[in-house]
A and B are shown apart, each in its own frame.
Chain A
């Protein structure tokens, strides 16, 4: 069974902390994505990566950075967490091209106090 896993289901951090969210996929997918999901706003793309060490900004990259050192692993970093980054964070992966859809992880519910 194909899998995208995320390091934590629930995370509580304080304002100003550096936060790492990890995502691992076992499908040998080239593309990996980080989204945040907020009520009424839907899924918004933060960053995506189409290859190791390659990354592209999505629609809302401010306050975030990413790292992809290995094909199966894509990390999202909040350099200095703020309360407006409280959200559900979803990682996804897909094969090259747009005709296969994306496979999502279970999500990380991050609360920043």
Chain B
């Protein structure tokens, strides 16, 4: 079993839809959770970062962490064609190892 599982998609939605992207993980020591957006042929860019449990909102994006279920989500409201990209989740523990564990990414297509 992988430490971090992420549905590869592709996920196709109409413009304006609410998108839910998810990751599950197995290591209960993870405390830091991140979402990255990666456009085709580009490097990942950091979208959202959360520490421990709870929600964090930034514009149209909301990151949610449920540590009891070992489940994290990224919600995109009013999705736009420019949101079409691959979304990677990443997480890390507090051991100071500097290691981040990445999901394999979910490919999202927002149709105009």
Contacts and interface: CB of A to CB of B under 8 A. Distances in A.
A101 B98 contact: no
A45 B51 CA distance: 22
A62 interface: no
B60 interface: no
Given A31-B98, A42-B88, A98-B98, A107 B104 contact: no
Interface residues on B, range: 20 to 34
Contacts of B43: 4, 90, 92, 104-107
A98 B100 contact: yes
Contacts of B45: 104
A109 B102 CA distance: 20
B99 A101 contact: no
Interface residues of A, number: 27
Interface string A54-68: 001010000000000
Contact of A43 (B41, B46, B88): B88
A42 B7 CA distance: 12
Contacts of B36: 104
Contacts of A50: 98
Contact of B104 (A41, A45, A97, A101): A41
A102 B104 CA distance: 16
A48 interface: yes
B95 to A, nearest CB: 9
Interface string B81-108: 0000000101011101011101111000
B32 A98 contact: yes
30 contacts: A31-B98, A33-B98, A40-B8, A40-B104, A41-B104, A42-B88, A42-B105, A43-B102, A45-B100, A48-B98, A56-B98, A90-B43, A90-B44, A98-B31, A98-B94, A98-B96, A98-B98, A98-B100, A99-B32, A99-B51, A100-B49, A101-B46, A102-B90, A102-B100, A103-B46, A104-B43, A104-B45, A106-B43, A107-B42, A107-B43
Given A43-B44, A104-B44, 9 more contacts: A40-B104, A42-B104, A90-B43, A94-B98, A98-B32, A98-B96, A100-B49, A102-B100, A106-B42
